[in-house]
Every structure is written in C-alpha cells, then in structure tokens.
Structure 1
Amino acid sequence: MFIRRLAMSVVSMCLLAAPATAWANAAPSLIDVSELSNGIVKVQHHDTAQSVNDKVKISKDNQHFYYSVKDHNRFPLQLGDGKYTITVLQHVADNKYRAIESKEVNVTVSSPQAVFLQPIQMIYWNDKTNAVAKARELTNGLKNDRDKVQAIYNYVIQNVQYDYEKANRVTSEYIPSVDSTLNERQGICYDYAALFAAMLRSEGIPAKLVMGRKNDIPQYHAWNEIYLKETNEWITVDTTYDSIMVKGTKKPTMIKNKSEYVIEKQF
C-alpha cells in the first residue's frame, strides 16, 4: 500500500571524472546560493538536449542526496549548519553522469526550522497554489499551531484516498504535485506527506517530509514530522495511515509514537 524506495542509490550511477576546468570558467553558474540562510539551494537546467536527465548531488559529511533537475529546482540543505558540496551532474548515457559544476558552500541558517518552511521541488507551493488557499480556509480564525495542524490533518485524512494502482506503477523519478493530490483527492504516501507539508509550511508551521519504515508496514513509507512552537517539540503524523484507519471502526490518533518509525531520509 505504500511507495517504492524513491531515493537514488549511489551505486546505480557511474560518475565520470571531469577536470576542474570543466566548470571553472563556466558562466553563468548553474548553482544559485542566494537563499542559503533559508537552507535552500537553487539549480538551473544546463542548456543542452541532454539536460532533461541532469541530476544534482548535495553532500555534507558522509551523507549524499540526489535529485533530478526538472521543475521548481529548489533543494533543501536539511543537515544543519556547516559545509555542503553541491554538484550538477550531466547525463551522458545510460547510468553515466559527469560533473559539470561543483560548489562548496558554508551554510548558517537563520533558525533550525527555517529549511522546513520553504517550498522545495517535492513540496512545491506558492500563493497561487490551491492547497495554500485550502490551508488558509481551514485555519481561518485559529490562533494555535496545534489547532491548525489538527484542522488540516482532519481534512487530508477525510478527503484523500489511497491510490493502490499508482503505488504499483510509480517510478523512482516521481515528484508529487500538491495541487494534483488535492484536486484528484487521491495519491500514494509520498503525495499525502508532500500535500500535508505544503499546507502547513504555507501557514508558517515547520513540517518535514520523512521517508523510511513503519514497524507494521513492509514497504517503504513516507510521513511527516511537525514542529509545534507552543511546546517546542516535533510530533510524528501519518496522514496516509490514518486516511485508511478513519474508514474503519477505530478512530485514529493524530500524534504517533516515534518509536514505531525508522527515519532514513528527511526533507
């Protein structure tokens, strides 16, 4: 009932060596670091016919994240302050890529939660997004973040259905559209988590999209962690799980036990 692993494995790619001059004189830069204080880096398409398959690799210490360069190319620097290396990888053939630009940046974010308030490629929204308008409608008049989270959570679990067919055909290149999930009222766990995060972030509530494992689900899974400033804590919320539970006789509880989940990636 849940998603396949959507993270690109390092071993699935062959990175071809490229001399430093490959990007030393390139202009303009494909890597935009103007939003580092928000924990965001932006990447432009390389202007070639092959650029449709370009990737970006973001590394800090021994952790690496790979993303496809498609639309809304805003990527999180979610591993806290410190030195990151951002590398744009041009597709050559099959699983072969070469680095065409690389940049090291020192990141100091404005607050620990800043990155989890931003639109990013997989949680993209703006003022014209229908999901943002719906979040504004649902939270109108509510002052407490906990109440806002509850209102949006109730809407999502009651109005979005799990799409089993999509779960069987989705590929590793899939990127959610929050408005498609809202309008179609169905999706996989990746869609649920992206929609919930976008709606909360648009209301100024920090939200993580988390991927990994749940103790009673054999498949790879996605859920959310939400920051409540009133209690200074991150809570675990699983809208996919609860959208299925709510149709049964047992009423789901919004806040989950963290010990039931194993985090592998968070965005």
Structure 2
Amino acid sequence: MLKKRIFIPLLSFVLMLSFMVDSVQASDLDIYSEDLEHGLINIQYQSKSGSDTKVMIEKGNQKYIYTISSNNTFPMQLGNGNYTVSVLEQKSGNKYKLIKKDTVNLNMKDEKAVYLQSIQLIHWDKDMKAIQKAKALTKNLNSDQEKIEAIYNYIVKNISYDKKKATKVNADYIPSIEKTYSSSKGICYDYSALFAAMLRSVDIPAKLAMGYGKDIDEYHAWNQVYLKDSKQWVTIDTTYDAGFKDSKSKKQMIKKTEDYSIEKIY
C-alpha cells in the first residue's frame, strides 16, 4: 500500500477573512492595469501606519486575497469579464478598511497568456539562476514534452522536501524560486512555484494549483501544465514524485487529474 506523505497546510490560501470596511482616501495608492493583455494587474501602495494590507480580486462568486508586500503583480486568472479589485488595510484583528475599489474589464485574446507571466507568488526574471538553468536544460530540445520532462526530472532529482520548514512556515508565506533553487530544498509550495516559473520562462503555460490530493494528508500544491500538441492541461506533482526519487518504483510524471481536488489556481 502506498504510504501517504504529509505536507504543510498552506493557511494563507484557506484563510477566510471577514472584512468590515470603512472607505478612506489614498493618494499614495496606484492600481496599474496597463498589462491586462497578459492578464495582470499591479498594485503600488505603502501603508503609512505599517499595517497589514491586502488586495482582494473578485469575479462572480470567486475571490483571491493576497498580501501586499513586494513584487505586487497579481493574476486575473478567472477568465475574461469584469473583475472587482479592492485594496484593504488592517484596522485590528480581521477588521479591514477599504482604501480603494476599482472595476477592471479583462478581454484577453488568449486566456492561457496569464500562465506565462511572473506574478507575486511565482516571481521570476531571466537573470535568476533557476531561470538560466531552465534555459540550459531545454537548449537543444524541440518539443514542449521534452522540455517539460527535462525540467521535471531536474526538480524531482535535485530538490528535497524540507520537513523542518514545513513546521515553521507562516500564513503569509511567499515562495522564492531562487532560495529553493540555491538551497535545493523546499515545501510543496516551493516545488510548484519553481516548476511553474521554469516552465513559464521557456514559453510553456503552467498553473500553480492548490487543494487536496488522493494520497496526501494535508492542503497541498502542485501544477497543471499545458501540452500544446494535444491542447490539454495535465497534472504534474513534483513534490510527491521527489519523495520517491531513491525508490525503485518510478512514478509517472503525468497524474490522474481526478485524483486531485483544486481549490485555487495561480
């Protein structure tokens, strides 16, 4: 019987904040939507009081909440249509005041484009060592399938699960692909952010998914990757497979999508 692996619960993505809002003026807040063709919005705001600040992006009955810190580029990954973008600043506990609220209309030609971008949770640029490694791994490869396998094999063989970190990570944790790459260890969130960033950098759309897996006890992160030839998204779990890298039992890279229950996509 397959032994279940335990992964850190990612509290920031199941945490439901109840906002009690008071509208205030904020001349030092900017919401930039110039990059909507790629499904991105950028928030620039510095709280004068140093209070915790959130951005809430809503479409229909779905909402995503992020902490404003650094690299404040956020995806609009719920498809074309109208989004409500709210910036909120903490008053006390789970009470927040509304700083600004905008409506943004998204009309992308290709909705997969958002999964090629650098965002707060999957931050990358061409000068990062992890991204240079992705370029080197795929240099002489032609098909997307070959490139995906090359990057997958590198991560599964070289990144180890960090059990100590899994017990200490806080609710607002944001992965750093450079730290994961340089330390060669991380939690499931780190694995999936690194895999997504490396794939995106070689023009392969990749999603970071969060939710639950069939053989995994806790809230988990993995990836969905787009295969251009078959025009479909497939499920890949580098964290899970890395746990079997020293085993004689080789795991299939592509998982059964029905074995995973998605709650959030980035």
More off after superposition, 199-208 vs 108-117:
108-117
Report % sequence identity.
Answer: 43
Q: CA RMSD in A?
A: 1.3
Q: In structure 2, do the counterparts of structure 1 residues 216 and 84 end up closer, same or farther at CA, with 3 Å as the change threshold? A: same
Q: Which of 13, 19, 41 is 1:14 aligned to?
A: 19
Q: In structure 2, do the counterparts of structure 1 residues 198 and 36 end up closer, same or farther at CA, with 3 Å as the change threshold? A: same
More off after superposition, 94-103 vs 155-164:
94-103
| Alpha-carbon distance in 2 for matches of 1:242, 1:161 | 11
Give the Å deviation of 1:168.
1.1
Instruction: Give the match for residue 151 of structure 2.
Output: 152
Partner secondary structure for residue 141 of structure 1: coil
Instruction: Give the match for residue 50 of structure 1.
Output: 50
Deviations 1:96-129 (A, max 9, x none): 2111011001101130211100000010001211
Give the Å deviation of 1:28.
5.7
Contact 1:8/1:172 (<8 A) preserved: no
Q: Aligned AA for 1:46?
A: Q
Q: Aligned AA for 2:84?
A: T
Give the Å deviation of 1:47.
4.4
| Alpha-carbon distance in 1 for matches of 2:69, 2:29 | 17
Structure 1: 5+ residue runs without aligned partners?
none
Give the Å deviation of 1:46.
2.8
Instruction: Give the match for residue 95 of structure 1.
Output: 94
Instruction: Give the match for residue 3 of structure 2.
Output: none
| Alpha-carbon distance in 2 for matches of 1:47, 1:244 | 42
Q: Aligned AA for 1:206?
A: P
Partner secondary structure for residue 212 of structure 1: strand
Contact 1:161/1:186 (<8 A) preserved: yes
Q: In structure 2, do the counterparts of structure 1 residues 133 and 79 end up closer, same or farther at CA, with 3 Å as the change threshold? A: same
| Alpha-carbon distance in 1 for matches of 2:194, 2:15 | 25
Give the Å deviation of 1:264.
0.6
Instruction: Give the match for residue 30 of structure 1.
Output: 30
Written as runs of structure 1 = structure 2, the 5 A alignment for 1:17-166 is 17-18=22-23, 22-23=24-25, 26-27=26-27, 29-51=29-51, 53-166=52-165
Contact 2:29/2:45 (<8 A) preserved: no
Instruction: Give the match for residue 212 of structure 1.
Output: 211
Residue 187 of structure 2 is aligned to residue 181 of structure 1: no
| Alpha-carbon distance in 2 for matches of 1:47, 1:55 | 11
Written as runs of structure 1 = structure 2, the 5 A alignment for 1:232-247 is 232-247=231-246
| Alpha-carbon distance in 2 for matches of 1:61, 1:232 | 27
Contact 2:28/2:45 (<8 A) preserved: no
Give the Å deviation of 1:212.
0.5
Structure 2: 5+ residue runs without aligned partners?
1-5
| Alpha-carbon distance in 1 for matches of 2:181, 2:259 | 28
Q: Aligned AA for 1:229?
A: K
Partner secondary structure for residue 20 of structure 2: strand
Q: Compare the two structures and name the one with the higher helix fraction.
A: 1
Instruction: Give the match for residue 7 of structure 2.
Output: 2
Give the Å deviation of 1:50.
2.1
| Alpha-carbon distance in 1 for matches of 2:35, 2:18 | 29
| Alpha-carbon distance in 1 for matches of 2:175, 2:167 | 15
Give the Å deviation of 1:15.
2.3
Give the Å deviation of 1:218.
1.4
Task: Name segments (4+ residues, structure 1) moved above 2 Å.
Answer: 12-18, 26-29
Q: Aligned AA for 1:41?
A: I
More off after superposition, 152-161 vs 86-95:
86-95
| Alpha-carbon distance in 1 for matches of 2:94, 2:212 | 27
